[in-house]
Amino acid sequence: MIRLVNENDAKAVADIYNYYVIDTAVTFEEEPLVPSDMLERFSEIYDAELPWLVIEHEGVVSGFAYASKWKGRCAYRHSVEVTVYLSPEAKGLGLGSQLYSELFKRLRAKDIHVALGGISLPNDASIALHEKFGMSKVAHFSEVGYKFGQWVDVAYWQAKLS
């Protein structure tokens, strides 16, 4: 079941995200978040009139995806950055594809023209997911992040939605 996130999801979303904060270089945040941090982030996305979705698998929130403003300047209003995270237990079940399918459908309905996805490298699974949705690599930034004592590259994928 895919639905819009609500305040009752803050702990589950924080728990999913914190796995990536603590154990991976997928996100460059280094301190775990608490549910109130997530509530603030939910509000930012809703204030921008963009979707934040969660997926439930076997009755448990197992992943989330959202779109955020690409940049603050007005002329960027038709471009968004897309993000998806799954609980470690939910990887490989196709939930990321389900989330992106619904997210992209909602973005097209909102007349969003371009979706961009940033991926810290290496991350073959994320690259495959983004390319499955017609996204192509458009940029590669070398050693722009530093986490766990190593430099990390970030690349961006882009798709035109309209």
Quote the pLDDT of residue 149: 97
pLDDT at 4: 98
Interval 46-84: pLDDT, tens: 999 999 999 999 999 999 999 999 998 999 999 999 999
pLDDT for 81 equals 98
How many other C-beta atoms can be found within 10 angstroms of the C-beta atom of residue 143? Answer: 10
Model pLDDT, residue 118: 98
Q: What pLDDT shows up at residue 25? A: 97
- The pLDDT of residue 78: 97
Local confidence band at 119 (pLDDT 50, 70, 90 cut-offs)? very high
Mean pLDDT for the chain overall: 97
Rounded average pLDDT over 133-147: 98
pLDDT tens-place string over residues 28-45: 999 999 999 999 999 999
Q: What is the 3-state secondary structure (H, E, C) of the chain?
A: CEEECCHHHHHHHHHHHHHHHHHCCCCCCCCCCCHHHHHHHHHHHHHCCCCEEEEEECCEEEEEEEEEECCCCHHHCCEEEEEEEECHHHCCCCHHHHHHHHHHHHHHHCCCCEEEEEEEECCHHHHHHHHHCCCEEEEEEEEEEEECCEEEEEEEEEEECC
Determine the pLDDT at residue 147: 98
The Cβ of residue 47 has, within 10 Å, a number of other Cβ atoms equal to 9
Check whether domain 2-118 has CATH 3.60.20.30, yes or no: no
The residue assigned the tokens 């979705």 is: 53
Q: At what angle do helices 35-47 and 10-23 cross, to 10 degrees?
A: 110
Task: Determine the pLDDT at residue 20.
Answer: 98
pTM of the entire predicted model = 0.96
Whether 14 contacts 36, CB under 8 Å: no
d(CA 28, CA 8): 26
